[in-house]
Amino acid sequence: MYMYETVEEANEKAYQYIGLFEVNFQKIVYQLQLLIKLTFNSLGPERIHIIEIFFANRTANDIAELARGIFNQTYKPEKEEKAISAKLFKDIIEFIPKRNDLIHGFWHIGFTHEGQTDFSEIGYENIKRKKDGVLSVYDNKKIEHIKTEAETAYKLASEVFQLNMFFLLGYKSRDVPISLADYIEKEAFI
């Protein structure tokens, strides 16, 4: 476990990793949108802007479900490819609530008490609406865990990009074919 020596150092890292998480999460959504756009573009460039209508006022979950459906319907992946893409879309859909919990809560960054020497965790409160009122969830989050989640978001966005490029660029039908399993593991710079 990494321990920050000062509250200022912990605050700086907390802000950095929360921001990094959100930016990388948005990269997932962007790559899903790009997958949809480029799929439609392959049907004719005049259709690329029509798809923007589907993105307006949609949640990340809506866009992930739309991308999954369009991907499967358009590319009709083979058994191994379908298993890989199904796992990727499942991982993304399971990851989305983490973003909502992270961004829609209140961070107690900089809140310390006298004598505190370990600044590796920060307080976090998330108030959720329930049928019979509200539920306030208070927890401590490890700053390094937020960094790990940000890295996971980047990895998922990279995998969507690689999935998209694999099918758009026709890698399996090239003279030296490469499997989707091998191709998707190559991290893209997105």
Residue 39 lies in a domain: yes
Per-residue pLDDT tens over the stretch 83-122: 999 999 999 999 999 998 888 888 888 888 888 888 888 8
Q: For residue 1, is pLDDT > 60?
A: no
Residue 61 lies in a domain: yes
Per-residue pLDDT tens over the stretch 56-84: 888 999 999 999 998 999 888 889 999 99
Residue 118 lies in a domain: no
What is the three-class DSSP state of 124?
strand
Residue 17 lies in a domain: yes
Range 29-48 average pLDDT:
79
When divided into structural domains, the chain yields a total of 1
What's the pTM value of the predicted model, to 2 decimals? 0.81
Range 133-155 average pLDDT:
89
Containing structural domain, residue 59: 7-96+143-184
Residue 120 lies in a domain: no
Residue 128 lies in a domain: no
Return the percentage of the chain with pLDDT > 70, whole number. 92
Supply the pLDDT for residue 28. Answer: 94
Residue 66 lies in a domain: yes
| DSSP E strand stretches across the chain | 106-108, 121-130, 133-142
Work out the pLDDT band at 180, boundaries 50, 70, 90.
confident
What is the three-class DSSP state of 139?
strand
Distance CA 161, CA 140 (A): 33
Q: Kindly give, in sequence order, each residue whose CB lies less than 8 Å from that of residue 170, ignoring residues fewer than 6 positions away.
A: none
Residue 132 lies in a domain: no
153, 175 contact by CB (below 8 A): no
Range 157-184 average pLDDT:
81
Supply the pLDDT for residue 68. Answer: 94
